[in-house]
Amino acid sequence: MVKICCIGAGYVGGPTMAVIALKCPSIEVAVVDISVPRINAWNSDQLPIYEPGLEDVVKQCRGKNLFFSTDVEKHVSEADIIFVSVNTPTKTRGLGAGKAADLTYWESAARMIADVSKSNKIVVEKSTVPVKTAEAIEKILTHNSKGIHFQILSNPEFLAEGTAIQDLLKPDRVLIGGRETPGGRKAIQALKDVYAQWVPEDRIIATNLWSAELSKLAANAFLAQRISSVNAMSALCEATGADVSQVSHAVGKDSRIGPKFLNASVGFGGSCFQKDILNLIYICECNGLPEVANYWKQVIKVNDYQKNRFVNRVVSSMFNTVSGKKIAALGFAFKKDTGDTRETPAIDVCKGLLGDGARVSIYDPQVSEDQIQRDLSMNKFDWDHPLHLQPMSPTAVKQVSVVWDAYVATKDAHGICILTEWDEFKTLDYQRIYDNMRKPAFVFDGRNIVNVKKLREIGFIVYSIGKPLDPWLKDMPAMA
């Protein structure tokens, strides 16, 4: 029986391995982690991450051919194929601080693999890593291997949160990079055999190691670039009276462009886009390509601009101050159908409003008060470390309350900011909400999900990203 071990039981390791276990009953899959609470949660009824369909898959396989454990060394030493899916945060100190990937966790995983291995192994990079990481990992493994042979593969993960299970069951492609040697080709074939149990062969792409590593950074940069492009257009739409939804619909109809990833928003978030682009920028700079680096920098700058622009719209619309006013934030997760808040635009928006003196009442169906308080007090990039290494319970931000109901959040509020596109926000009783708010009552829709016409009929002053402006907002400066 082939044995797989995955180091790192996070958003990628957990769902990915659960689907491999589901589709390959003859393979034994162990997911290991240094975080005891995380592994306990994977073994309980309350999984550590919220992802539609995940619970079902885990329940079908757990205890049969899928195991979650903190006994990292035992499972690593027994495995034939080891996936490494640990954190790769942005460095906050030293060379490349603020951009380069911090490979501390990856390196310690590699050293541990070398220490405990007693048989030949295939080591698979599942984490997103800088180009040429495989070379460094290979060196660590071979210099410490006591004669054991390791083959390194790059198999980046393309799942998106909220749709992870569907993405894993029906991937657009599976990318496997390896050495162009007989040993490398054999290792690629071994991993192909795993995926081929449910993924059509023509969707499994084999490349060299560096192409696979770079393709992951490139794919995320391209996706984020589309969002920054449409968000840049949204500012111009507001200035000209065009409607960004109509513009992106018309643009996306061009089959060369396509309709996806053209929704204007308050900004993109999530653990990958910003981190991976910063990483790409750093690699360009290190390779003497400042023009290329500057091109990609702009994608992040526009994203920051969009978040600032949103806060400025809120403040300037409300007589240039939100001091002492109650603002309801509907949604905190970085997108719908996940409880993940890593790099969510809601953090910057809430911080901006708090900076102007607002009282913020937050409701998100999947995010806990503890998480929100941590996010609002944590330093930039601190989130991307194993839980037990993150700063301990920071002091709560007093002007923030977290509630479990949209109606409670909006009661007596002066304004509402919609920050995540949860379906339930589309069907709220906005008349009831309006009746319980201070007047004039404002809605700032950062996800373009409300029916603007209906809300204006009720009496709201509505701002919707990239849509023709409410007469109220026309004379207010967009950037303070």
3-state helix, strand, coil in the chain (%, to 5): 45, 15, 40
Q: Which does 208 bind (CB under 5 to 8 A by kind): ligand NAD, ligand UDX, none?
A: none
Q: What are phi and psi of 328, to 5 degrees?
A: -95, 130
Please report the DSSP string for 26-65 in residue order: TSEEEEE-S-HHHHHHHTSSS-SS--TTHHHHHHHHBTTT
Q: Which amino acid is it at 213?
A: E
Mark the segment that binds ligand NAD (CB under 6 A) among 29-37, 58-66, 310-318, 349-357: 29-37
- Least distance from ligand UDX to the Cβ atom of residue 298, Å: 17
Q: Which amino acid is it at 383?
A: W
DSSP bridge pairs for 329: 362, 417
Query: Is 399 annotated to bind ligand?
Result: no
Q: Give how far the C-alpha of residue 112 lies from the chain's centroid of Cα atoms, to the nearest Å.
A: 28
Q: Which two tokens stand for residue 369?
A: 């008060």
Q: Which amino acid is it at 108?
A: S
Choose, by CB under 6 A, the member of 105, 106, 268, 296 that binds ligand UDX: 268
- Least distance from ligand UDX to the Cβ atom of residue 347, Å: 12
Closer residue to ligand UDX in complex, CB, 215/361: 215
Residue span 145-164 as binding mask against ligand NAD, x where in contact by CB under 6 A, dash where not: ------------x-x-x---
Query: Is 350 annotated to bind ligand?
Result: no
Mark the segment that binds ligand NAD (CB under 6 A) among 58-66, 101-109, 258-266, 307-315: 101-109
Strands 66-69 and 121-125 turn out to be: unpaired
Mark the segment that binds ligand NAD (CB under 6 A) among 2-10, 188-196, 326-334, 396-404: 2-10
Q: Which two tokens stand for residue 302?
A: 């526009």
DSSP bridge pairs for 152: 123
- Least distance from ligand NAD to the Cβ atom of residue 71, Å: 11
DSSP bridge pairs for 82: 5, 123
Q: Which does 87 bind (CB under 5 to 8 A by kind): ligand UDX, ligand NAD, none?
A: ligand NAD
Q: Whole-angstrom Cα distance, residue 466 to residue 246?
A: 10
Choose, by CB under 6 A, the member of 108, 145, 163, 368 that binds ligand NAD: 108
Strands 442-445 and 81-84 turn out to be: unpaired
Q: Whole-angstrom Cα distance, residue 43 to residue 61?
A: 12
Q: Which does 334 bind (CB under 5 to 8 A by kind): ligand NAD, ligand UDX, none?
A: ligand UDX
Q: Which does 450 bind (CB under 5 to 8 A by kind): ligand UDX, ligand NAD, none?
A: none
Choose, by CB under 6 A, the member of 4, 76, 81, 262 that binds ligand UDX: 262
Of the residues 24, 61, 237, 272, only one is catalytic, namely 272
Q: What are phi and psi of 438, to 5 degrees?
A: -70, 155
Has 272 been annotated as catalytic? yes
Helix (H/G/I), strand (E/B), else coil: 367: coil
35 binds ligand NAD per the rule CB under 6 A: yes
Q: Which two tokens stand for residue 223?
A: 């996706």
Query: Is 298 annotated to bind ligand?
Result: no
Residue span 217-246 as binding mask against ligand UDX, x where in contact by CB under 6 A, dash where not: ---x--x---x-------------------
**Inter-axis angle of helices 369-377 and 345-355, nearest 10:** 70
335 binds ligand UDX per the rule CB under 6 A: yes
Q: Which amino acid is it at 342?
A: R
263 binds ligand UDX per the rule CB under 6 A: yes
**Residues marked as binding?**
8-13, 33, 38, 86-90, 127-128, 161, 272-275, 342
Which residues have a catalytic role annotated? 272
The site for ligand UDX (CB under 6 A) is made up of 157-161, 220, 223, 227, 261-263, 265, 268-270, 272-273, 334-335
